[in-house]
Structure 1
């Protein structure tokens, strides 16, 4: 049917099958690497993927079943202004604690992204804190690295908190909805096989994080929310102390996007949730 948007076929970048990964773990170094060391050994391959439109079906998805869900929440702050980011983090931490009926939520990190082309430098006047979109299927953090982050952040309280049921939950929100360029796709955890997931190291100046790259598997089920508004917040489960539910995700180029459509801007919070 002309104009049917129930399924969009678009390219998602997956980890390239290569014998290299029989010998080396995928890695990426965020800062300038030592002489003679490549910045990354991650090779990706684009695969045309059927991505199901969740518009009109948001209520069918649940964080603790699918690994993601969409919830309605107003955008009350201009987070492109540094002074308002902390207020936004505090508000969303309170919202998440109430929404998940959790005992404690710690918002420990955030990232603002402004879309730009693959090799396009950061535009003049844009803060170095502002990152570009990620084109590649991945999961942000492993359970083992999540434990390390909790120990680092919570210090003396960490041992007690780690005895509880805990989760790492990301809160992703477009800042200039409706999203018409580079929407975010999420993979239903029920169809993400353990063999599809490959541990990778992200080396930052101050710490190292284990994340996951994703192999393509035709049995995976991918979803997005067409024309996602700034009031439609996406929750994604990255790690859980008692289940293997987790959300692989990636930006993708929507074939419907026009050249003059606004470039996507977004904010993502990373939260420790304790029950």
Structure 2
């Protein structure tokens, strides 16, 4: 039986209808509030996914695991740790493109960003950032044609040091997510300059969370963020960092 651990995660605090739609405002203009919601901690149970690691599917669960030894080569990991963007784009991007193509059957992969997340838990969740639809922003001449087919946004997570012993990545099985748990959240800048939209989620006791115990640098987590073809019944998928004391 897979190991399970108690953990705490922050979710959208209960709201009343008169509170209106949620929003977050960066660089808020004087007299304008940063947000109209707050989060509350809830106790959850997180299950070790390792015994069934290969059974999770992007289009079913919203996430999947894969083994990728090429991407964990020392020179690649060192370039990522050092923030050597040119080397990362030269050595790592092609590996990620191949990985995504192999696992999704995509005919075209475009990487528009990469981020190194440090382990300090106090930093998690403090950098909301709205973006325009990536296809239109980064591939303007091809956007209309590309969006005639299926388009997906997939995050690829990899530990830079392993095994991961604390603050592992937890992901939710999207089949356990209820529509009522999802709250579209506008992202503004200044006053009402719309920068994009994300979602906030409410806690639901039926939600199932997983993490990969002692995840190594050659083990990657793929998370489907958005899909133009709503295969799984939901097009938003969620992930958090949690602290395991077990």
More strand as a share of residues: 1
8 Å CA contact retained: 2:21, 2:184: no
8 Å CA contact retained: 2:48, 2:212: yes
Which residues of 2 match residues 1-275 of structure 1 at below 5 A? Answer: 6-19=3-16, 22-29=19-26, 32-74=27-69, 75-76=72-73, 77=76, 78=78, 79-81=80-82, 82=84, 83-87=86-90, 88-118=92-122, 132-134=123-125, 148-203=133-188, 208-243=195-230, 244-256=234-246
Q: Which secondary structure does the structure 2 equivalent of 1:95 belong to?
A: helix
Deviation at 1:241, TM superposition (A): 0.7
Deviation at 1:26, TM superposition (A): 2.8
Structure 1 pair 134–229 and aligned structure 2 pair: CA distance change class (3 A)? farther
Scaled by the length of structure 1, what TM-score is found? 0.76
Alpha-carbon separation, structure 2, partners of 1:239 and 1:40: 24
| Structure 1: segments with no counterpart, 5+ residues | 119-131, 257-275
Alpha-carbon separation, structure 2, partners of 1:28 and 1:228: 35
Q: Which secondary structure does the structure 2 equivalent of 1:164 belong to?
A: coil
> Which stretch shows the higher mean deviation, 221-230 or 80-89?
80-89
> Which stretch shows the higher mean deviation, 239-248 or 49-58?
239-248
8 Å CA contact retained: 1:65, 1:245: no
Deviation at 1:24, TM superposition (A): 4.0
Between the two proteins, the alignment pairs up a number of residues equal to 232
Deviation at 1:100, TM superposition (A): 1.6
Aligned residue in 2 for 1:272 = none
> Which stretch shows the higher mean deviation, 195-204 or 215-224?
195-204
More helix as a share of residues: 2
Q: Which secondary structure does the structure 1 equivalent of 2:145 belong to?
A: helix
8 Å CA contact retained: 1:66, 1:245: no
